[in-house]
Structure 1
Amino acid sequence: MKSYKKIAVVLTTLGVIGVSGCKKILDQSPKANVTPDVLASAGGVVGGITGVYSDLRNLWGTEGFLYYTNLGVDETLAGGGASNGGVAFATYKNYTNNVSDVYNALGGVFNIAYQDINTLNGVLQYGVAAFPDAPTRTAYLAQAKFLRALYYFHLVQTFGSVPLHTTFINTATLSDSRAPVADVYNQIIKDLTEASAELQNKPGENGSPFAGHAATKASALYLLSKAYLTRGWSSAAQSGDFQSALTTAQTLISTKATYGVDLYQNYADAYAPANDATNKEDLFAIEHSTDTKYGDFTPGASGGKINGWAYFFRPNYPTVNANYPASGGSGVMTRDIANGRPFFRVRPNYDYVNNVAFADRSNDYRYWNTFQTTWIANTANITTPRGSLTVGTDTAIWMPPYDPGADKRASFKGVIFLPPSVAAATTGANASTNTFFPALKKFDDPNRPSVNDPSSRPVVLFRFSEIYLIAAEAAYKLNDLTTAANMINVLRTRAAYRTTGMPANAVANMQITPAQVTLDFILDERTRELYGESLRWWDLTRTQSLIRRVKLYNAEAAPNIQDFMTLRPIPQTEINLVTQGPPIPQNPGF
């Protein structure tokens, strides 16, 4: 859709990709015009693929991406620190009126996606000549197929019909058209079918040049299964899609040892920073590091190619004062690395999260492994109307998902915030707000150099646990409720586990029967397992549940959402680039 004379790609290294036969990894970061001659060389192929991997940092982990994948759904609401565009995504208010942040976020997706797709097309078209060694050639081209499929799957889920290009463009193009959704899915499935046979089993296995978090066969099988599932729900559905989704998911599950993937016994271990380098539930992730040159790291950055997941979901805890809700008094907490940088961009939707998805917090421990509800005092000489706080001992802020009772509230020395509906029924209780709310803690990064630094943890796109949910959804659509229940129960068995205080009957209480499997149960289970992981908007649009569930659970968005909002608008800047031939049509309603 862009007018390209020559495509420039930044030849930066992720620190995980090298070229076979080279003595050391690329140690420079120039910009280069990518031409067929360049892409027919080993260096051009390496630079092209590495540049695409680096570009993924412009999407996953950034604030604009956060807004359009996590907001305007049932499980989250905009935090008090959200931009105007974030609020527009969250509420659909002024959403169709060219809100700059909305269109900038979506326009960025198009700019990055089509630049990188063109680079990948060039790698696949000319890179065949770059490596005389067949295994090395296959390894590189399989990466390109996977990455191209990832981008097109992202685009078709978000915008519906989009331009489809599979050949390299290095001359100016001023015309374009949107391809049928069926054609886009056919290309995605073709690329992923080939990649799932050609990629490495494990990162860096048998001398593969792709180590770290680069794509593997397990990555491709996951995405292939999800592509079949998503197409099965769509207007381009083919009769065997749900069976193909289930079969592919079950193949990954049954061969998990081959790919070195599995579930941890403890849900919390899947998110532990100590496991980042070799996380067995990580099927595909975007690398980050504190290296300012190769890791795109900028100290104190709040934008750019950052991983902001460690602070986007954090409340503004340093502004809770000792006399709250009265004004005055010192802050009971000081901003620190352990408690994170308080960006408060996204907050939980209490009515859904507490009362529906995580209603069972006794048997299911995922709520407590997902949310931080207590802040231990870190500031000396703080006294509230109920007593003095001892640093490192007393809880300064407590946000329980229930009312602890009048006696506990009266004796608690810190400040308590209750869910709004609970506080409304409890005389004198503080209600959580769009500034003060439980924090999502799964993405915390205690190893950041400074309190205001972005995270250097990998941004995980695909988790092994989700393959069970993909299988369950496909089985549900096939009316195989027994298989669906079995898949879900694997995760629910794990969800009951905790290191101490586990009820004797927790696992038994977590099991469901086939009769309990419904679409809404599957969607609720996805929240319990994958809350906040930049999947929810697609989960709801895929299952044709967005409008219904937003109206049911999200009071802030319900008045404004309309049926056509199951697709995002094509950015007007992209439409304007087509100046010859038929114009690019906008999605209906925008």
Structure 2
Amino acid sequence: MKTMNYIKIGIASSILSIAAGCTSFLEEELKSSLAPDNTYTSSLGFEVGSTGLYAIARSEYNTWGESGAFMHNGACAYEVLQISTDLCRMGTVRDGSLVPFAEMTLNPSTLFVGSYWNWAFNLIGSANELLIYSEKNDNWDYPTDKQLYQAEARFFRAYAYRTLVYLYGDVPWVETIQKPFLLSFSRDPKIEVLGNIIKDLEFAKTYLPDNPDNVKEGKLTTWAARHLLSEMYLLRGAEGDYKLAEENAQDVIDCPYYSLVKSRYGNAKNDPGDYFSDMFVENNQNRSAGNTESIWVMQFQYNTVGGGTNSDDWTRRAWNPQYHAIDGFALADSLGGRGLAQIYPLKWWIGVKGTNATTTGETIKDVDEMGNMLSSSPISPDGIFEDGDIRNSEYNIKRNWYYNNPLTPNKLGQKCPIDDKSWSQAQLFPALKKFFFGKEENLQLTGAYKDRMKFRLAETYLLLAEAYLRQDMPDKAADAVNEVRRRAKVSDVSDEEMTMDFLLDERIRELYGEESRRFTLVRTGKLLERVRKYNPEARDLIQDFHVLWPIPQAIRDANVGNFPQNPGYEGYEG
């Protein structure tokens, strides 16, 4: 796509020029005939620009770059939002890009600390440019086009700022292209940035399309904006915000277009499986496949123009075990393809049922608000799942592994036990089949080319429950959570049991590996407490200031004004 030439040039500019959306650098080096001045002159041109915004948003998952995509320049960038939480720990493949986040040694020059900032401001700068040119253009195919493309741009600007405030706190709010180029940015208070995010999303929810069946797959609707609005009102937490979070989540739930998936559908509906596993089968993520739960789906489809590449979405590579390193196994798409287990699930929640693994050294430790140890208890074999929970079925968490290599006939078809050794070496453990992906013609694929459900209705119910808890309505929170639990075929939670910790456990049961777990724990104020309680790798390393990442050193070096570092990182010298 020609617009990607423009995106690459923006990335090559200094990081602060991306933040400012400065075009003077671009005009000097532009290699394509497609530029803002001759593109943003018609509805078609704005559709090209909109497509570019979706591409940059998808590149949140990109690793080493391919086909002109934005690059994190390191493996599994998205997994740093999972590691050192209550969900997972680093595997034995100690990828250098993940180690600082596992060992809590991240600093202002750490790779992903800079690349997430760069990614977000790249998306912000591109959205700002579309917005500015939309005010200049008067050549629209339909009277509603201007507001439609502005709504998409403002959604993506809000989406990028969402990441920034979760990771860095106070950040510059930029909504224009700076001419002349500005080198004296300041950090705007997080609460003010959140106010601007909410304004953008309120505009987006008003002017984005209503009917998801009338837009192309992967395109935004008002319901995606309302889902994200609910989360942002929860994050801001000002007076009246929890009620507004409730209302936006309820709007999505009550609309006629979405419902929880409760029956088999799609490509594999006649194969062994269940309706929960169906949502994660390749090509089953979009509405056209019968998925009534997906609100926003990022498009990574295999061998499709505008789809995924080997450098996109390495979630499978990060989460799936290195079973192929064990004598008796061969790579197979049915076993998830080639996994490297750069991270793997903690035993406290996934349990050890059906394995020979023990809980030695991994008891659950309870702490008080100051981090003092109160008591410890052994890990349940079932983890946090009830018997019969569909999300814990063999179709969703693979606990039974059988040798499959015909070159070792003495083992073929026999069960390979999971034990402490295979688990600690990240070669075999209960695996999340959500991220299984393989192609028989190329089992060495690194990227997972499945479309990715970014927002789905089950999470909307859990956001609604969070809003009710914040309003001290545990009975209504329980009602919302029980809609999700009944779909999973487990017992209702009572009003008395309905706490924030129960909700966080439920989010693991439903959304393990899908959500940005770090964001959830930061929003609920539970990051430090739950890491110290549940994560044996990080509990003694995490400090209070680790709730935020440092400001990238390149940003502070390029800024001539007062651009303070986050507490805890001030003494670093790059």
TM range (shorter): 0.7 to 0.9
Partner of 2:315: 309
1:6 and 2:23 equivalent? yes
1:187-206 equivalences under 5 Å are 187-203=196-212, 205=214
Q: 2:106 aligns with which of 95, 102, 106?
A: 95
1:193-272 equivalences under 5 Å are 193-203=202-212, 205=214, 210-232=215-237, 238-255=238-255, 257=256, 259-265=257-263, 266-272=275-281
1:162-181 equivalences under 5 Å are 162-169=171-178, 171-181=180-190
3-state SS in 2 of match to 1:442: helix
Partner of 2:11: none
8 Å CA contact 2:230–2:245 kept in 1: the answer is yes
Partner of 1:150: 159
8 Å CA contact 2:210–2:222 kept in 1: the answer is yes
Partner of 2:12: none
Judged with a 3 Å threshold, the aligned counterparts in structure 2 of structure 1 residues 293 and 145 are, in CA distance, closer, same or farther, namely same
Q: 1:105 aligns with which of 93, 103, 112?
A: 112
Judged with a 3 Å threshold, the aligned counterparts in structure 2 of structure 1 residues 370 and 31 are, in CA distance, closer, same or farther, namely farther
Provide the C-alpha distance between the structure 1 equivalents of 2:408 and 2:25, rounded to a whole number of angstroms: 55
1:127 and 2:134 equivalent? yes
3-state SS in 1 of match to 2:478: helix
Deviates more, 1:241-250 or 1:132-141: 132-141
8 Å CA contact 1:310–1:445 kept in 2: the answer is yes
What amino acid maps onto 1:367 in structure 2? N
Partner of 2:399: 373
3-state SS in 1 of match to 2:98: helix
What amino acid maps onto 2:142 in structure 1? D
3-state SS in 2 of match to 1:550: helix
Judged with a 3 Å threshold, the aligned counterparts in structure 2 of structure 1 residues 450 and 217 are, in CA distance, closer, same or farther, namely same
Provide the C-alpha distance between the structure 2 equivalents of 1:221 and 1:261, rounded to a whole number of angstroms: 16
8 Å CA contact 1:213–1:284 kept in 2: the answer is yes
1:437 and 2:429 equivalent? yes
Partner of 2:4: none
Provide the C-alpha distance between the structure 2 equivalents of 1:478 and 1:127, rounded to a whole number of angstroms: 40
Q: Deviations for 1:86-130, whole angstroms, at most 9, x for unmatched residues?
A: 1221231x233x5x6xx2212122222212212211212221424
Partner of 1:410: none
1:276 and 2:285 equivalent? yes
What amino acid maps onto 1:3 in structure 2? S
Q: 2:348 aligns with which of 351, 369, 378?
A: 351
8 Å CA contact 2:422–2:428 kept in 1: the answer is no
Partner of 2:518: 537
Partner of 1:493: 486
1:503-514 equivalences under 5 Å are 507=490, 510-514=491-495
How big is the shift at 1:446? 4.3
What amino acid maps onto 1:222 in structure 2? H
Q: Which ranges in structure 2 are unaligned for 5 or more consecutive residues?
A: 1-14, 64-74, 264-274, 352-378, 570-574
1:587 and 2:566 equivalent? yes
How big is the shift at 1:569? 1.4
What amino acid maps onto 2:160 in structure 1? Y
**Alignment identity in percent?**
29
What amino acid maps onto 1:289 in structure 2? Q
8 Å CA contact 2:478–2:494 kept in 1: the answer is yes
Q: 1:332 aligns with which of 322, 328, 331?
A: 328
What amino acid maps onto 1:111 in structure 2? N
Q: Deviations for 1:205-249, whole angstroms, at most 9, x for unmatched residues?
A: 1xxxx51111111100100011001111xxxxx210111111111
Provide the C-alpha distance between the structure 2 equivalents of 1:359 and 1:292, rounded to a whole number of angstroms: 39
Provide the C-alpha distance between the structure 2 equivalents of 1:64 and 1:308, rounded to a whole number of angstroms: 6
8 Å CA contact 1:8–1:33 kept in 2: the answer is no
8 Å CA contact 2:258–2:293 kept in 1: the answer is no
Q: 1:117 aligns with which of 124, 134, 139?
A: 124
How big is the shift at 1:262? 3.8
1:371-520 equivalences under 5 Å are 371-382=397-408, 388-390=410-412, 394-395=413-414, 414-418=415-419, 420=420, 432-447=424-439, 449-453=441-445, 454-496=447-489, 507=490, 510-520=491-501
Partner of 1:424: none
3-state SS in 2 of match to 1:283: strand
Q: Which ranges in structure 1 are unaligned for 5 or more consecutive residues?
A: 10-28, 233-237, 321-330, 396-413, 421-428, 497-506
Provide the C-alpha distance between the structure 2 equivalents of 1:112 and 1:160, rounded to a whole number of angstroms: 16
3-state SS in 2 of match to 1:84: coil
Partner of 1:186: 195
Judged with a 3 Å threshold, the aligned counterparts in structure 2 of structure 1 residues 145 and 448 are, in CA distance, closer, same or farther, namely farther
Provide the C-alpha distance between the structure 1 equivalents of 2:169 and 2:440, rounded to a whole number of angstroms: 38
Provide the C-alpha distance between the structure 2 equivalents of 1:154 and 1:163, rounded to a whole number of angstroms: 13
Provide the C-alpha distance between the structure 2 equivalents of 1:54 and 1:32, rounded to a whole number of angstroms: 20
How big is the shift at 1:375? 3.0
How big is the shift at 1:430? 6.3
What amino acid maps onto 1:150 in structure 2? Y
How big is the shift at 1:364? 1.7
Judged with a 3 Å threshold, the aligned counterparts in structure 2 of structure 1 residues 216 and 7 are, in CA distance, closer, same or farther, namely farther
Judged with a 3 Å threshold, the aligned counterparts in structure 2 of structure 1 residues 30 and 309 are, in CA distance, closer, same or farther, namely farther
What amino acid maps onto 1:370 in structure 2? N
8 Å CA contact 1:118–1:169 kept in 2: the answer is no
Provide the C-alpha distance between the structure 2 equivalents of 1:32 and 1:309, rounded to a whole number of angstroms: 36
Judged with a 3 Å threshold, the aligned counterparts in structure 2 of structure 1 residues 264 and 65 are, in CA distance, closer, same or farther, namely farther
Partner of 1:405: none
Provide the C-alpha distance between the structure 2 equivalents of 1:218 and 1:455, rounded to a whole number of angstroms: 26
8 Å CA contact 2:350–2:430 kept in 1: the answer is no
Provide the C-alpha distance between the structure 1 equivalents of 2:128 and 2:441, rounded to a whole number of angstroms: 39
Partner of 2:388: 363
CA RMSD of superposed structures (Å): 2.6
3-state SS in 2 of match to 1:172: coil
3-state SS in 2 of match to 1:80: coil
Judged with a 3 Å threshold, the aligned counterparts in structure 2 of structure 1 residues 33 and 105 are, in CA distance, closer, same or farther, namely farther
3-state SS in 2 of match to 1:59: helix
Provide the C-alpha distance between the structure 2 equivalents of 1:521 and 1:261, rounded to a whole number of angstroms: 23
3-state SS in 1 of match to 2:344: strand
Q: Deviations for 1:266-288, whole angstroms, at most 9, x for unmatched residues?
A: 32232232422323222112211
How big is the shift at 1:263? 3.4
Deviates more, 1:559-568 or 1:105-114: 105-114
Partner of 2:532: 551
Judged with a 3 Å threshold, the aligned counterparts in structure 2 of structure 1 residues 148 and 264 are, in CA distance, closer, same or farther, namely farther
Tell me how many residue pairs correspond in the alignment: 492
Provide the C-alpha distance between the structure 2 equivalents of 1:30 and 1:448, rounded to a whole number of angstroms: 39
